[in-house]
């Protein structure tokens, strides 16, 4: 996992392909509200893992569906399409089983 992701606090989850973040006070944008950029990063990293190759995001579309509060967030990705140069995947972020954010990400494949 990239250094930025480690600094943010992302870790491999217990379930295969999942990513977890135990939020910290610095992840909040307001009391009891996790910043959208944290949710976007978690969703994008989960989507990237689903591609299964070295990638960089080309475009990200994020939908914030519910307030994420301090606590554990779990990200999971799903590959939608992989070509020779581009891939598209989704990343979901859940908290206590509730969907709080969903991203669709287009990736450029490296190498």
Q: Is the pLDDT of residue 14 over 90?
A: no
Q: Got the DSSP string for the chain?
A: --HHHHHHT-EE-SSTT-EEEE--GGGEEETTEE-HHHHHHHHHHHHHHHHTS-EEEEEEEEEE-S---SSEEEEEEEEEEE-SSEEEEEEEEEETTEEEEEEEEEEEEP-
CATH of domain 3-109: 3.10.129.10
pTM: 0.94
Give yes or no for a contact between 83 and 108, defined as CB atoms under 8 angstroms apart: no
pLDDT tens-place string over residues 75-111: 999 999 999 999 999 999 999 999 999 999 999 999 7
Q: How confident is the model at residue 2 (pLDDT cuts 50, 70, 90)?
A: confident
């Amino acid at each position: 996992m990239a250094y930025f992701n480690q600094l943010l606090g992302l870790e491999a989850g217990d379930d295969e392909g999942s990513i977890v973040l135990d939020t910290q006070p610095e992840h909040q944008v307001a009391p009891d509200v996790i910043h959208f950029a944290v949710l976007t990063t978690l969703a994008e990293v989960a989507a990237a893992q689903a591609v299964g190759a070295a990638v960089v995001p080309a475009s990200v579309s994020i939908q914030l569906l519910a307030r994420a509060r301090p606590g554990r967030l779990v990200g999971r990705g799903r590959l939608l399409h992989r070509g020779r140069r581009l891939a598209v995947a989704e990343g979901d972020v859940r908290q206590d089983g509730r969907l709080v954010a969903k991203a669709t990400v287009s990736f450029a494949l490296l190498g």
